[in-house]
């Protein structure tokens, strides 16, 4: 006896293959840390491509779509290229995402000096000269200089300033990729007598005058 099977009412699920996506990096400058100015090629491949590159890839950087294709070309890189890069296969819902983090290293930038409490202070006042800079890896050393004419002198750490310490200062930020000087700041230190109240100065002047008159009278 023959039995007939009616398949017209059945829903057949498509066969789903899970693809594993991988990202490889090619640095024409060799196997070293990625530096500013370098170029990189990011290549996305999947486990079933048989060595053939597919044009159906899409690239994202920090979650934002940036390009299409199996190879992402990054040239003349800067700090703005640092981030998470992900490739996805547009035509396959069962594909994983290939991901890689690119860290672009660079020397100190935007080196600057801030002064607290102000650029003009009383003698003996605690003054903070703060040097800041952006660098990757972070700044390893800050060096302070006092500029006198065309001569720069390393002044090291100096928290309290006196009248003779007024002048021009700058700092130099350094990491393994280089160094950068800040702009010059001018620090003005007011002498003690200029910071006294007006009444005290008047009384002091009168006292000195009386002493002088007394000395003249004695003679």
- Homologous superfamily (CATH) of 107-195 is Immunoglobulins (2.60.40.10)
Helix/strand/coil (H/E/C) assignment for every residue in the chain: CCCCCCCCCCCCCCCCCCECEEEEEECCCCCCCCECCCCEEEEEEECCCCCCCCCCEEEEECCEEEEECCEEEECCCCHHHCEEEEEEECCCCCECCEEEEECCEEEEEEEEEEEECCCEEECCCECEEEEEEEEECCCCEEEEEEEECCEEEECCCCCECCHHHCEEEEEEEEECCEEEECCCEEEEEECHHHHCCHHHHHHHHHHHHHHHHHHHHHC
Q: Enumerate residues 6+ apart whose C-beta is below 8 A from 152.
A: 145, 146, 170
Return the minimum-mean-pLDDT range out of 13-22, 146-155, 210-219.
13-22
Mean pLDDT for 150-160 is 54
Whether the Cβ atoms of residue 86 and residue 99 lie closer than 8 Å to each other: yes
Q: What local confidence, expressed as pLDDT, does residue 5 receive? A: 46
Mean pLDDT for 113-133 is 81
Provide the residue ranges of all domains of the chain, joining segments of one domain with +.
Answer: 21-104, 107-195
Give this prediction's pTM. 0.67
Q: What local confidence, expressed as pLDDT, does residue 44 receive? A: 87
- Joined together, the tokens standing for residue 25 give 């990096």
Q: What local confidence, expressed as pLDDT, does residue 6 receive? A: 47
Q: What is the mean pLDDT of the chain?
A: 76
Q: What local confidence, expressed as pLDDT, does residue 12 receive? A: 43
Q: 21-104 and 107-195 share one CATH topology?
A: yes
Q: Does domain 21-104 have CATH number 2.60.40.10?
A: yes
Per-residue pLDDT reduced to its tens digit, 124-136: 777 778 899 999 9
Check pLDDT > 90 for residue 173: yes
Better-predicted residue by pLDDT, 121 or 10: 121
């Amino acid at each position: 006896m023959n039995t007939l099977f009616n398949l017209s009412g059945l829903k057949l699920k498509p066969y789903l293959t899970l693809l594993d996506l991988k990202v490889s990096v090619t640095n024409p400058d060799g196997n070293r840390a990625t530096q500013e100015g370098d170029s990189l090629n990011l290549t996305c491949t999947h486990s079933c491509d048989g060595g053939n590159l597919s044009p159906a890839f899409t690239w994202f950087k920090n979650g934002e779509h940036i390009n299409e294709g199996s190879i992402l070309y990054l040239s003349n890189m800067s700090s703005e290229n640092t981030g998470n890069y992900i490739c996805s296969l547009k035509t396959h819902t069962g594909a994983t995402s290939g991901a890689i983090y690119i860290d672009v290293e660079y020397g100190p930038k935007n080196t600057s000096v801030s002064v607290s409490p102000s650029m003009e202070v009383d003698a003996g006042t605690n003054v903070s000269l703060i040097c800041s800079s952006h660098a990757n890896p972070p700044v390893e050393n800050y060096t302070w200089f006092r500029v006198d004419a065309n001569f720069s002198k390393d002044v090291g750490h100096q928290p309290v300033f006196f009248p003779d310490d007024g002048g021009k200062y700058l700092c130099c930020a350094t990491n393994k990729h280089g160094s950068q000087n800040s702009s010059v700041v001018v620090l003005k230190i007011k002498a003690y007598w200029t910071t006294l109240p007006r009444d005290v100065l008047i009384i002091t002047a009168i006292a000195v005058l009386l002493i002088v008159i007394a000395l003249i009278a004695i003679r």
